[in-house]
Structure 1
Amino acid sequence: MSKADRTKQYIIEKTAPLFNAKGYAGTSINDLIVATGLTKGSIYGNFENKDEVALAAFDYNFERLVSYIRGKMEVRESVIEKLLVYPETYRNFLTNPILISGCPVTNTSTEADDTHPELRARVEEAYNFWRGTLENHLYNGIQKGEVKSDININEFVSVFISIMQGGIIQAKVTRKMASMNLSMDYLERFILSVKN
């Protein structure tokens, strides 16, 4: 990796938590300077503008989350056990270093839906990836006889994501985990309800 690539990666790693916590609009160039210890010229010497930094930061945050969940799933045997990784992970999001500022998909989608088309498109890709991953797990579960064959996969995935995202939003707004825990309890029962 070249020095320029290392600097670029350093900027991404240092600013990614800021963008996740404060959002695109709430993160200023001064925040980026403080977080990285670099000058404005150094930052913009590696990125064309704040938009480019924000997009790279979102990608970094999302990739970290995907890797974390994938790692937890790899040690599980059944599809149901793999799906249960989600409520287990998100139930503790306020103490999880990757999620402490919230889910990057949820945080970014609520801000970028109408104000930042490129960021919204990136979040849509993340949702599509997430949906596809869940759908694949369910199809595999049906083939292995672990998941009921009459499940409406599209409906299940939509409700699954809605429960998770709704629980996160409630917990972030109220700063209380009670609603998140109730949502994750329900999600666990919802997952177990499709077990064959």
Structure 2
Amino acid sequence: MRKDGSRTREKIIEETLQIFSVKGYYNTSINDILAATGLTKGGLYGHFTSKEELWGAAYERAIEIWKGIVFKGARKIADPLARIEKVVENDLFGYCGAEVFEGGCFFFNMLVELSGQSETMSRRIRSGFMEFAGLLASWLEEADRKGFLKKGVKHREVADFIVIAINGATALYTSGRDRRFLKETSNQLRAYLLHIRA
């Protein structure tokens, strides 16, 4: 019985994640979720006490999916600058350009929608972006220690810039599916990483 409950919970999360990515949080109704999952309200609320709790589970699943794509093959790369380049490529082309979620980048879409609406939820998303920038900054620090960076490179500023560039490309790509934005961003970030290399 517990295994069936676990499968049902997983199905709810998977279906709702796609609905949230297309319709957003506020435009997704409980009836949308019930229609997608085939559950009754009692069945749904047996697994989640609120729509916000369900969103939290969908958000965590989106992170798992994103990490699986973005870090694929990256952590084994010894050169930290090459590792950053791999992560940028994976994020732009393996995640954003591959349209993993029907509505585009789940995180960017949710951040735009929830900002000014739910401070708790938008703060959670912002902190995810900042954690990613923090990881990139730590890789830049590693590159600096290994003598791979020119003098004076500001690790956190560069890391924030990379995350901002990826998200700008994501926004423009999502608005019209023009891959040029992904390619140009990738090319320019690669050139920038080459520029700061010692």
The 8 Å contact of residues 112 and 119 in structure 1, kept in 2 or not, is answered as yes
Counterpart residue type for residue 127 of structure 1: F
- Bigger drift between 26-35 and 57-66 goes to 26-35
Flag structure 1 segments of 5+ consecutive residues without an equivalent: none
Cα offset for 1:83?
0.7
Corresponding residue for 2:134?
132
1:167 equivalent to 2:144? Answer no
Distance in 2 between residues matched to 1:146 and 1:99, nearest whole Å:
36
Distance 1:131 1:141, change over 3 A: same
Contact residue 21 and residue 101 of structure 1 kept, 8 A: yes
Aligned equivalent of 2:2: 2
Q: Which amino acid in the other structure matches residue 10 of structure 1?
A: K
Name the amino acid aligned to 2:113.
E
Relative to the length of structure 2, the TM-score reads 0.87
Residue in 1 aligned with 2:44?
43
SS at match of 1:156: helix
Equivalent pair of 2:111/2:122 in contact (CA under 8 Å): yes
> Where in structure 2 are the equivalents of 1:8-27 lying within 5 Å?
8-27=9-28
Please say if 1:29 is aligned against 2:39. Answer: no
The question of 1:147 aligning with 2:152 is answered no
Residue matched to 1:78: 79
**Hey, what's the Cα distance between the residues in 1 that align with 2:68 and 2:83?**
14
Contact residue 135 and residue 157 of structure 1 kept, 8 A: yes
Alignment coverage as a number of residue pairs: 196
Distance 1:82 1:166, change over 3 A: same
Q: CA deviation at 1:74?
A: 2.5
SS at structure 2 position matched to 1:118: helix
Equivalent AA in structure 2 for residue 168 of structure 1 = T
Compute the TM-score of the two structures, normalised by the length of structure 1. 0.88
Code of the residue aligned with 2:12 in structure 1: it is: I
1:124-177 Cα offsets, whole Å, 9 max, x none, are 221221121111111111112223342111221221111111111011112322
Displacement, 1:79?
A: 0.9
Q: Tell me, which stretches of 5 or more residues in structure 2 are unaligned? A: none
